[in-house]
Amino acid sequence: MPIFEYHCPDCRTDFEELRTLAKRDDIAVCPNCKSRRTERKVSTFSASGFGNSGGSSCVPGGGFT
Ligand SMILES: [Zn+2]
């Protein structure tokens, strides 16, 4: 099971959650302030599974709101 990284903008805490791919976009509750308004960070792990022809590991992220 992969580990996903999340960020809590309320208290600016980064934390990790162990969960399945299907649940990666589920709400992650901040362990510090219990906020549910967290956002998932783009992890290099999840990006490595799609196509190796690009040659670049640069993953655009953060564009979604
Ligand atoms: Zn927090």
Cβ distance 49 to 27 under 8 Å? no
Does residue 58 surpass a pLDDT of 80? Answer: no
Could you read off the pLDDT of 6-22 as tens digits, one per residue?
A: 999 999 999 999 999 89
Element (H, E) at 47: helix 44-47
- Going from the Cα of 7 to the center of ligand 1, the distance in angstroms, rounded, reads 8
- Going from the Cα of 32 to the center of ligand 1, the distance in angstroms, rounded, reads 5
Q: Where are the domains of the chain?
A: 3-44
**Where does the pLDDT of residue 1 fall: very low under 50, low under 70, confident under 90, or very high at 90 and above?**
confident
Number of H helices, E strands in the chain: 1, 3
- Going from the Cα of 52 to the center of ligand 1, the distance in angstroms, rounded, reads 35
CA 47 vs CA 10, 20, 52, 54, 59: distances in Å: 26, 15, 10, 12, 7
